[in-house]
Structure 1
C-alpha cells in the first residue's frame, strides 16, 4: 500500500509540474504574420495602415489602423483586443460594422507582426500603453475625442483590465469569461489551480470598477466559454447602462458571422456619447 501511495503521490506531483511548466502553450496560441502578407492586407483596404509602439522592455508592438472614412479619421476610436487565435486584421474589411468609429486593432506579443512572447502581466501593460499612446496622438494621428474598447474571448480580459483603469467611453465584450482561474478550477476540481496558474486573468475582480456603458455579446451554443461564465461577469459588472445580447444558433467561432452580432454592436456604438 505504501508503494502504491508513493506512486500515486509522485504521479500527481509530476502532473502538476507538467501543467505548471506547459501552461503558456495551453493558454496562448500566438499566430505570426509575414511582413509581405501584412503589407498586402493594408494595401487592400482604403485608409488602412500599420502602427507601431515600443514597450518599455524594448518589444516592438504592432497594430492595424483604419479610419471611419478613407479620407479622414473621425476622432472616435475603437481599440480592439482579439481572441486567442484570431487574426484581428480580418476586421479591417468590416468597417461598416463600426459606424462612425476609427479602428485600432492590436496584435498581442508574439501575434501578428508584434514581437515578444505572450503573458498576462506583459499584455496588461501593453493594453494600457496602447490606450495612453493613442490618447496622446499615435504616430501623427490626432488625439481622439473618445476611445471605446472591445475585446473578444481572451481579449475580453484585457479590455476589462483597461476599462477599469482608464476613462473609456464604452466597452464591448464578445464571448467573455469571468475568470480563467475559476473556469479551469471548475473543470479540474481535484487540482490546486490557484497555486499553479500564472495567468489567472480574473475579469470579475475588475468588474466593480467599470463605469462606462457596456455591451455583452454571447453565443447561445458556445462550448468553449459557456454563456453562464459570461453571466457571472455580467452580474458582477458595475458599468451602466449594460446590455446583454445572446445570439441564438451560434457558437464561439461563428457568433461574429451572425447579423445580430453586428446589429447589436452598431447600435451600441451609435449610442455612445
Structure 2
C-alpha cells in the first residue's frame, strides 16, 4: 500500500486556533516525546463518574464536539475528546506512522491527568471512523486500564476504506493493513459496543459485523442505526445514541444497575441506585 497516497486521502485536518473551553469543560495540552502538543477538551460530570476518552473521525476536531460533549455528560459520563497531529490546535502534520503511537501516549497522559485532578471513576475508550483504530489500539495495549470499548462507524479492514476513498489501483501494491483492527479486537476481552449505520456507504455494515464477530469480549453488542449513513449516526439515532453509550459504559463500569439490580429493586419496592452492586 502506498502510504503517502493513503495519507493524502485519509487525513483532512480541520485547523482551529485554541479557544476558551465552554462552561463545564477545560482544555488539555498533551505533550508528545518529540515536543509536539496534542489538543484535548474535557467535559466534566463528576469526579466519580466514568470517563469516556474519545478519538474522532478524519475531518473533525476537538472544538466541533462542544455540542455533543454535554450530551454525554447528561448520561452520567465525563467526556474527553483528543485531536490528532495537525488537527485543531495540535502541532505538526498527521501521519500514519505516528497516529497509533500518539493515541497510546495521549491515553496514558490523560489517565494521569484525571487522577491528578481528582477524577477517580473508571475509564472507557471510544473511537469514531478513523478514531476506531486509535480506540482499538488503546484497548489492545492498555486493556487493564479500561472497562469498556465503544466503536462507532469503525472498520475491521483498512484496504476497502482506502478504495472507497479513491485510492488508485497502482497504489494497492502492498496488502498489509497498517491498523489491523480485525486482528487486534480478537485480543480485547473488555465489554465492547459497536454502533453502525445501516446505510454507511464509506465503511460498509459488514465491517462492523466483522469487528463484532472477531471481538473476544463475552459482553459485546452490535447496534445498527436504521437509515444512518457514515456521518449521520447521531442524527438518526438522536437521544438514543447517547443513552445507549451511557448505559453500556455505566454497566461495564459498575456505576449503573443492570437488569438483575433493577429486578431486585422492583421486588424490594424501590428504585435502583447508581453504583448498586451487580451480581
Partner of 1:107: 83
Partner of 2:52: 78
Contact 1:67 1:74 in 2 (8 A): no
Helix, strand or coil for the counterpart of 1:217? strand
Mark the structure with the bigger radius of gyration. 1
Partner of 2:189: 211
Gaps of 5+ in 2: 255-279
Q: Tell me the CA shift for residue 193 of structure 1.
A: 2.4
Q: Tell me the CA shift for residue 75 of structure 1.
A: 4.8
Helix, strand or coil for the counterpart of 1:65? strand
Q: Tell me the CA shift for residue 96 of structure 1.
A: 3.3
Gaps of 5+ in 1: 1-15
- Mark the CA change 1:67 to 1:194 in structure 2 (over 3 Å): closer, same or farther: farther
Aligned pairs for 1:28-39 within 5 A: 28-35=11-18, 38-39=19-20
Contact 1:181 1:201 in 2 (8 A): no
The two structures have a TM-score, normalised by structure 1, of 0.81
What is the Cα-based RMSD across aligned positions, in Å? 2.5
Q: Tell me the CA shift for residue 109 of structure 1.
A: 0.6
Which of the residues 182, 199, 215 maps onto 1:221?
199
Aligned pairs for 1:48-67 within 5 A: 48-67=25-44
Contact 2:40 2:62 in 1 (8 A): no
Contact 2:55 2:126 in 1 (8 A): yes
Q: Does 1:164 align with 2:140?
A: yes
Q: Does 1:237 align with 2:215?
A: yes
Partner of 1:174: 152
Helix, strand or coil for the counterpart of 1:228? helix
The two structures have a TM-score, normalised by structure 2, of 0.79
Aligned length: 246
Q: Tell me the CA shift for residue 67 of structure 1.
A: 0.5
Helix, strand or coil for the counterpart of 1:264? helix
More divergent stretch after superposition (120-129 vs 26-35): 120-129
CA distance in structure 2 between the partners assigned to 1:172 and 1:109 by the alignment: 22
